[in-house]
Amino acid sequence: MDNNKKYLVGLFALIIGFFVYRYITNPLVVTVSGTGKVTVPASGARLSVSIVETGDDVNKVEEAIKAKIAAVRLSMVTNGVNEKSLSQTQMQIMPLSAVVSGAKGYSAQVNIVGQVSDVSNLSGLVVKLYQSGASIVSQPVIEVENQQELENAALKMAMADADKNLKMVSRLKMKLFRKTVSVQQASSGNTSTATKVTENEGNVGTSIEVAKAVSVVYQLW
């Protein structure tokens, strides 16, 4: 009788061990997504201005573009661009025939880049630069201080959102334990970052939005 009990206990323990092994080695694998975003005021913008002058006389072309350069730089500085941030490419003068076969005359070009702190009226600044002689004013590049800190904060929010979604799945599936397998962007395998510039009454760049989207794979027991 004792031997039968030992046999039954051993068999019962073996069955339990089998189910425990199956439970541990066959977790439920789920993928949840999360998003997070942080919006802060823009700390500044980078402006890039191109100045071009053409004409038949190379000396007059050079004189004319120098006058435009001086006018544009003055307009930039008097309208909020940090003078110390200004950088200028070397003047390039070339025959128009080098660009268009048979063309006559000369072309001169210079690019100027500068930083502006007040981004509340960038559109007005762009207009003044054109009035001063700028040929092309590229779309201002909006900037924000502590970009990496903002991205980390947005990522933390995205992970918290994913964790909230996971808890809902865990309750639904009656799972108590979890293990993070991977954190990735749903399409490319990397955390995705998006930067969005907002508009306020036609003025671009009053604030900047840093967003993160993650896809997290978990094992649940």
Q: What is the pLDDT of residue 39?
A: 84
Closest alpha carbon to 49 in 139, 142, 141, 137: 137
Determine how β-strand 136-137 pairs with β-strand 28-41: unpaired
Q: What integer best gives the mean pLDDT of the chain?
A: 83
Q: What is the pLDDT of residue 15?
A: 72
Asked whether the beta carbons of 221 and 156 are under 8 A apart, the reply is no
What is the second-level CATH architecture of the domain 44-143?
2-Layer Sandwich (3.30)
> In this predicted model, what pLDDT tens digit does every residue of 126-164 receive, in sequence order?
999 999 999 999 988 888 878 788 888 888 999 999 999
Q: Which residues of 6-21 are buried (b: 16+ CB within 10 A; e: fewer)?
A: eeeeeeeeeeeeeeee
Pair of tokens at residue 51: 């100045």
CATH number, span 27-41+146-220? 3.30.110.170
Q: What is the pLDDT of residue 159?
A: 93
- CA distances (Å), origin 8, targets 15, 18, 137: 10, 15, 86
Q: Which of 85-89, 189-193, 196-200 has the lowest mean pLDDT?
A: 189-193
| Comma-separated ranges of CATH 3.30.70.2970 domains in the chain | 44-143
To which residue do tokens 């896809």 refer? 215
| Comma-separated ranges of CATH 3.30.110.170 domains in the chain | 27-41+146-220
- pTM for the whole structure: 0.61
Round to whole Å and give the CA distance between 44 and 125: 13
Round to whole Å and give the CA distance between 174 and 56: 82
